[in-house]
Amino acid sequence: MSSNELGRNDVVINRRETLFQGFYRVDKFWLQHRHFDGSMGREITREMFVRPPAVGVLIYDVKTDDVLLIEQFRVGAIDDQHPWQYEVVAGLVEPGEALEAVARRETLEEAGVVITDLEKVFEFMPSAGGSDERFTLFVAPADLSRAGGVHGLAEEGENIRVIVLGLKQALQLVSSGRINNAPCMLALQWLALNKVHIVSKWSR
Percent share of the chain, pLDDT over 70: 99
Please determine, for residue 74, whether its predicted confidence score (pLDDT) is greater than 90.
Answer: yes
pLDDT digits (tens, 9 = 90+) for 78-124: 999 999 999 999 999 999 999 999 999 999 999 999 999 999 999 99
Instruction: Let me know: does 19 contact 101? Beta carbons within 8 Å.
Output: no
State the Cα–Cα distance between residues 60 and 67, nearest whole angstrom: 5
The whole-number average pLDDT for the span 7-19 is: 97
Give me the active site residues, please: 156
**pLDDT the model gives residue 44:** 97
State the Cα–Cα distance between residues 27 and 18, nearest whole angstrom: 4
- Residue 3 confidence class, pLDDT cut points 50, 70, 90: low
Instruction: Let me know: does 142 contact 61? Beta carbons within 8 Å.
Output: yes
Please, what are the domains in the chain?
8-50 (no CATH), 54-202 (3.90.79.10)
**pLDDT the model gives residue 56:** 98
pLDDT digits (tens, 9 = 90+) for 113-169: 999 999 999 999 999 999 999 999 999 999 999 999 999 888 888 899 999 999 999
The strand pair at 25-33 and 11-21 is best described as antiparallel
Alpha helices per DSSP H over 94-179: 99-111, 167-176
State the Cα–Cα distance between residues 17 and 28, nearest whole angstrom: 5
**pLDDT the model gives residue 156:** 84
pLDDT digits (tens, 9 = 90+) for 35-47: 999 999 999 999 9
